[in-house]
Amino acid sequence: MQKILISGGNGFLGSHLCDKAINEGLSVTVVDDLSTSKEKQVPKDTHFIKKPVEKFDTKEKFDFVVHLAARPSPDDYTRNPLATIDSNDVGTRNMLEIAHRSNATFFYTSTSEVYGDPDVLPIPETYFGYVNPNGARSCYDESKRFSEALIKAYERQYGMDVRIERPFNVYGPRIREDGFYGRVIPRFIDQALRNKPITVYGDGKQTRSYLYFADWLEATWKFLKDPKAKGAVLNIGSNAEISVMSLAEKILNITKSRSRIAYLPPREEDPKRRAADISLARKILEWEPEVGLEEGLVKTIWWLREKNRL
Ligand code: UDP
């Protein structure tokens, strides 16, 4: 039986990855400190270790080591900059050491934030980014960029099998909607379902491209397993760019909400535009996102409505 270690396996994406790994017949170990979780949601068949990844070590060996633990929500990470950096620098190093000792495939979920506020759209992997090294978002952007450098150093020095994914705004069931953890889609859906004001930062003209979790999961599994993907750095996302304002309108229409738009001050250093160039992932993984935004929103709205009885 192959063994996989997943840091952050209790999170939104991590818990879906655990389900997939179990279905594929792997033995799954999760290390997670539950620091950004509301509840435990790892499948019961996983071996669960409650610990921050930056304090984690083990003598056990694995076939795959996946480092997912991170604090990706801007309203959260800007309030917790040191914990954010810890999981990316020391956390990445710890997971790399375990992978190296195990002779495992090392898989890292980096971020589209490594591109900062890009002046090339859609963004290809060859774009080096436009990032403020000490700005409000630097605790996340720069530590993710550092992680990538660290991973490539292990690859160069030890010839390890490493794979770096840059996900672009993934959403869907199990994503948090509450407080500072809520990313824009679950937050707007929750506000719309409660007929509360939709909190648009700035003028709402800023854009993102969104990927439904099932498409992310398919790409990620292929990326983890496919021998052709060894050493690759790949954008996993969508190239369908949409403004925050249009996103709010879509959610209001689908939910038939009575919410009004409340304009709040812009977030500091909020990237103005973001959309993924996914040609490389298409080519290497023979993958194509299948769930359009409308369909993904309907499914996520359904899930949140059921979960919160709204
Ligand atoms: N956003 C917003 N209102 C909110 C939350 C987010 O207008 O309550 C905007 C935010 O300014 C950004 C986009 O939605 O331009 C995506 O934000 P999110 O927090 O989901 O993640 P990001 O892509 O910035 O990391």
Look up the pTM and report it: 0.98
* Residue with CA at minimum distance from ligand 1 atom 1: 184
- Rounded CA separation 240/264 (Å): 25
Atom of ligand 1 at shortest range from CA of 201: 7
C-alpha distances in Å from residue 197, one per residue of 112, 139, 242, 261, 265: 28, 30, 20, 6, 14
Pocket test for ligand 1, best of 141, 208, 274 (most atoms within 8 A of CB): 208
Q: How confident is the model at residue 248 (pLDDT cuts 50, 70, 90)?
A: very high
Report CA(185)–ligand 1 centroid distance (Å). Answer: 8
Q: Output the furthest CA–CA distance in the chain (Å, rounded).
A: 58
Residue 163 confidence (pLDDT): 99
Report CA(183)–ligand 1 centroid distance (Å). Answer: 6
Q: How confident is the model at residue 172 (pLDDT cuts 50, 70, 90)?
A: very high
Give the SS3 label for residue 48: strand
- Rounded CA separation 37/68 (Å): 14
Residue 246 confidence (pLDDT): 98
Closest CA to 123 of 113, 134, 115, 111: 115
Atom of ligand 1 at shortest range from CA of 191: 8
* Residue with CA at minimum distance from ligand 1 atom 11: 201
- Dump pLDDT digits (tens) for 202-217: 999 999 999 999 999 9
All domains of the chain, ordered by start, with CATH?
Answer: 3-175+209-240+275-291 (3.40.50.720)
Residue 182 confidence (pLDDT): 96
Residue 149 confidence (pLDDT): 98
* Residue with CA at minimum distance from ligand 1 atom 22: 74
Q: How confident is the model at residue 30 (pLDDT cuts 50, 70, 90)?
A: very high
Pocket test for ligand 1, best of 209, 244, 269 (most atoms within 8 A of CB): 244
| 265 in Cβ contact with 201 (< 8 Å) | yes
Kindly report the average pLDDT of the chain as a whole number.
98
- Rounded CA separation 84/97 (Å): 20
φ, ψ for residue 45 (rounded to 5)?
-80, 5
Residue 309 confidence (pLDDT): 94
Active site includes 130?
no
Residue 151 confidence (pLDDT): 99
Instruction: Locate all alpha helices (DSSP H) within the chain, ordered by sequence.
Output: 12-23, 74-77, 81-88, 90-102, 138-158, 184-193, 213-225, 244-255, 279-285, 293-307
Report CA(53)–ligand 1 centroid distance (Å). Answer: 27
Closest CA to 155 of 232, 85, 224, 89: 232
- Dump pLDDT digits (tens) for 258-292: 999 999 999 999 999 999 999 999 999 999 999 99
Report CA(270)–ligand 1 centroid distance (Å). Answer: 8
- Dump pLDDT digits (tens) for 51-95: 999 999 999 999 999 999 999 999 999 999 999 999 999 999 999
Residue 101 confidence (pLDDT): 98
Give the DSSP H/E element, type plus range, for residue 208: strand 207-209
Render the burial of 228-267: b for 16+ CB within 10 Å, e for the rest.
Answer: ebeebbbbbbbbbbbbbbebbebbbebbebebeeeeeeee
Residue 259 confidence (pLDDT): 98
Out of 108, 140, 181, 212, the active site residue is 140
Q: How confident is the model at residue 241 (pLDDT cuts 50, 70, 90)?
A: very high
Q: Identify the residue whose tokens are 């980096």.
A: 110
C-alpha distances in Å from residue 243, one per residue of 34, 40, 68, 192, 236: 32, 33, 27, 17, 19
Average pLDDT (145-166) is 98
Which residues line ligand 1 at a C-beta cut-off of 6 Å? 73-74, 169, 183-184, 187, 199-201, 206, 208, 244, 267, 270
* Residue with CA at minimum distance from ligand 1 atom 14: 184
| Cα dihedral sign, 236-240-244-250 | negative
C-alpha distances in Å from residue 97, one per residue of 41, 66, 68, 138, 150: 27, 12, 15, 25, 11
